């Protein structure tokens, strides 16, 4: 089924249910929409996340690393992160840009010692060489690591005390390599508010590049590698994960407009 047909059927279902007329499909920059639906629950946890816009789901590597099913107070299905739990998702051409790319999702994290990984994209010379990583830290900061090449990476870091476990927040990371400065190339927002970033090199040297390393493997939700042993996420993600593949008309900071972030923040917001 073509994406416009899916969009129409989804809008009609929401209208019949008396729901808000907004749909994430209206945000033109979204190129993939991973959705934690009740129909994905099998056995002891979530077995796959369907992509509303494409045919490839996110799936667990083996039953041993299958995430448990979490439920928020308002009944939405969520990915619950824990040590050894990870989902992998094959990146398709339509959602795998390297000059304009981003992610948006609601998260609520049980902060622990160290830095926890929300989302990673592998690329370069091996299965665990990355091109992008989104993390949260015990001091309640958010960090996005952009890989310049296989040996060098640059981090944009928010101030401390930005995120916690008291309420879900819509987190977006928006990379636009066409911009002139590092601050314009990397945008992090929480519930629509753009956060000031400090830039530093996590590894090697160099500034935020115009183009990220091309991904050759899968994206990883909730961990850095399929074994899940390295800095696994704790807390929940969901019920929706959006991949951003282009810049919206009217966007001034990052790839999304302020109105789009506000609409996504309120859409099926967990409690």
Q: Read off the DSSP letter of residue 38.
A: G
What is the phi/psi pair of residue 220, to 5°? Answer: -125, 125
Q: State pLDDT tens for residues 218-265.
A: 788 877 655 444 567 878 888 999 999 999 999 999 999 999 999 999
Reading the block at residue 136, the tokens are 């949260």
Residue with tokens 């530093």: 200
Reading the block at residue 124, the tokens are 């370069």
Q: Is 50 helix (H, G, I), strand (E, B) or coil?
A: coil
Q: Answer yes or no: pTM beyond 0.75.
A: yes
CATH number of this structure's domain 26-266, picked from the four choices 2.60.120.200, 2.60.120.10, 3.50.50.60, 2.40.50.100: 2.60.120.200
CA distances from residue 122 to 17, 57, 108, 185, 206 in whole angstroms, order as listed: 39, 17, 24, 20, 20
pLDDT at 244: 95
Whether residue 82 contacts residue 68, with contact meaning beta carbons closer than 8 Å, is answered with: yes
Residue 39 has pLDDT above 90, yes or no: no
Instruction: Determine the Cα angle at 51 with ends 224 and 267, to 5°.
Output: 95
Among the listed ranges 105-109, 173-177, 180-184, which one has the minimum average pLDDT value? 105-109
Whether residue 132 contacts residue 117, with contact meaning beta carbons closer than 8 Å, is answered with: no
Smallest Cα–Cα separation from 184: which of 207, 203, 204, 214?
207
Whether residue 236 contacts residue 72, with contact meaning beta carbons closer than 8 Å, is answered with: yes
Q: State pLDDT tens for residues 75-125.
A: 888 888 766 677 888 887 778 888 999 999 999 887 766 788 888 887 665
Q: Where are the domains of the chain?
A: 26-266
Instruction: Determine the Cα angle at 158 with ends 121 and 219, to 5°.
Output: 10
């Amino acid at each position: 089924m073509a994406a416009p047909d899916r969009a129409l059927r989804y809008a009609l279902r929401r209208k019949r249910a008396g729901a808000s007329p907004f749909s994430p499909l209206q945000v033109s920059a979204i190129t993939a929409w991973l959705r934690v639906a009740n129909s994905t629950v099998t056995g002891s946890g979530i077995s796959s996340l369907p992509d509303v816009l494409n045919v490839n789901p996110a799936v667990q590597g083996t039953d041993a690393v299958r995430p448990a099913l979490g439920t928020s107070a308002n009944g939405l299905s969520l990915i619950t992160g824990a040590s050894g739990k990870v989902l992998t998702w094959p990146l398709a051409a339509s959602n795998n840009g390297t000059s304009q790319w981003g992610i948006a999702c609601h998260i609520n994290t049980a902060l622990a010692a160290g830095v926890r990984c929300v989302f990673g994209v592998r690329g370069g010379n091996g299965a665990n060489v990355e091109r992008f990583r989104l993390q949260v830290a015990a001091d309640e900061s958010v960090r996005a690591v952009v890989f310049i090449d296989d040996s060098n990476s640059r981090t944009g870091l928010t101030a401390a005390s930005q995120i916690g476990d008291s309420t879900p927040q819509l987190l977006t990371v928006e990379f636009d390599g066409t911009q002139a400065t590092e601050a314009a190339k990397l945008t992090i927002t929480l519930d629509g508010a753009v956060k000031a970033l400090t830039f530093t090199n996590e590894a090697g040297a160099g500034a935020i590049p115009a183009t990220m390393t091309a991904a050759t493997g899968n994206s990883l939700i909730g961990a850095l590698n399929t074994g899940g042993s390295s800095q696994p996420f704790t807390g929940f993600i969901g019920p929706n994960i959006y991949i951003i593949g282009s810049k919206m008309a009217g966007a001034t900071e990052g790839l999304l407009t302020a109105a789009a972030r506000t609409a996504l923040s309120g859409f099926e917001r967990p409690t």
